[in-house]
């Protein structure tokens, strides 16, 4: 997307995830246009994307509301990711070249450095983590799969999850990636898929556990 609608997307997304708006509240195109600093036209394009990502929902009469993600919704998202990224890992294991695996290893070295010290660097972790997962999805060479995952993977959820990780959780995450790389080197699709599956399922439970705590804290 070009400048204005890309900017609209980014700003509105930030606005939605900033926590200042309440789930379920109504929004208007005009409001969002003001938030994004552009006219309604690019805002509409951004809204379509956000709707596809289910950060916005539409009433039957086309009015727009901030989506309200339940625990079940998050569960479902992680379940779908587990299936689809597991499949991506499986395909990647069949296709990755040694050079590409080297590259993954390099990215994961970065990730290790971010978490192996005394105080983990969450931002660095997230960056490396995103690059790592995207590289695998990319290596699966399946445009549809890539597109569907792009819709499903909500980085803010990943962020919130990572924030809940203990130092040990983060290190385990890095070790999962190590094992994925081993599976790739071995060219074992089933292994890769299984590792990816447990990696993501654990992430869900970390997230869900944290959400429970939040609920208790209220």
Partner DNA sequence: TGGCCTCCTATTGTATACAATTTGCCTGCG
Partner DNA sequence: CGCAGGCAAATTGTATACAATAGGAGGCCA
- Residues of this chain that interact with a copy of itself (CB under 8 A) are 2, 41, 44-45, 48, 52, 54, 62, 73, 76-77, 79-80, 83-84, 87, 142-145, 147-148, 151-152
Length of the chain: 218
Selection from DNA, a copy of itself, none that 76 binds (CB < 5 to 8 A by kind) is a copy of itself
What is the separation, in whole angstroms, between the first and last Cα of the chain? 40
DSSP-based three-state secondary structure for 20: coil
**Least spacing, CB of residue 44 vs DNA, in Å:** 7
Asked if 34 touches DNA (CB under 7 A), the answer is no
Selection from a copy of itself, DNA, none that 54 binds (CB < 5 to 8 A by kind) is a copy of itself
Main-chain dihedrals φ then ψ at residue 202, nearest 5 degrees: -65, -40
Contact in structure between 101 and 185 (CB atoms under 8 Å): yes
**Least spacing, CB of residue 158 vs a copy of itself, in Å:** 16
Asked if 59 touches DNA (CB under 7 A), the answer is yes
Main-chain dihedrals φ then ψ at residue 26, nearest 5 degrees: -80, 145
β-sheet bridge partners, residue 56: 66
Selection from DNA, a copy of itself, none that 148 binds (CB < 5 to 8 A by kind) is a copy of itself
């Amino acid at each position: 997307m070009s400048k204005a609608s890309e900017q609209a997307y980014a700003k509105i997304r930030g606005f939605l995830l900033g926590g200042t708006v309440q789930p379920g509240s109504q929004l208007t195109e005009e409001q969002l246009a003001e938030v994004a600093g552009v006219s309604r036209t690019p805002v509409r394009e951004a809204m379509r994307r956000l709707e596809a990502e289910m950060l916005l929902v539409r009433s039957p009469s086309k009015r727009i509301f901030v989506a309200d993600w339940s625990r079940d919704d998050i569960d479902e998202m992680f379940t779908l990711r587990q299936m689809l990224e597991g499949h991506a890992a499986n395909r990647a294991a069949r296709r990755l070249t040694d050079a590409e695996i080297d590259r993954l290893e390099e990215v994961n070295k970065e990730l290790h450095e971010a978490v192996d010290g005394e105080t983990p660097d969450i931002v660095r972790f997230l960056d490396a983590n995103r690059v790592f997962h995207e590289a695998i999805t990319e290596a699966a060479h399946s445009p549809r799969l890539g597109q569907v995952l792009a819709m499903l993977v909500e980085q803010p959820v990943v962020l919130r999850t990572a924030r809940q990780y203990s130092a040990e959780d983060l290190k385990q995450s890095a070790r999962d990636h190590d094992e994925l790389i081993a599976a790739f080197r071995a060219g074992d699709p089933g292994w890769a898929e299984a590792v990816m599956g447990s990696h993501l399922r654990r992430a869900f439970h970390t997230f869900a556990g944290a959400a429970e705590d939040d609920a208790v804290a209220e």
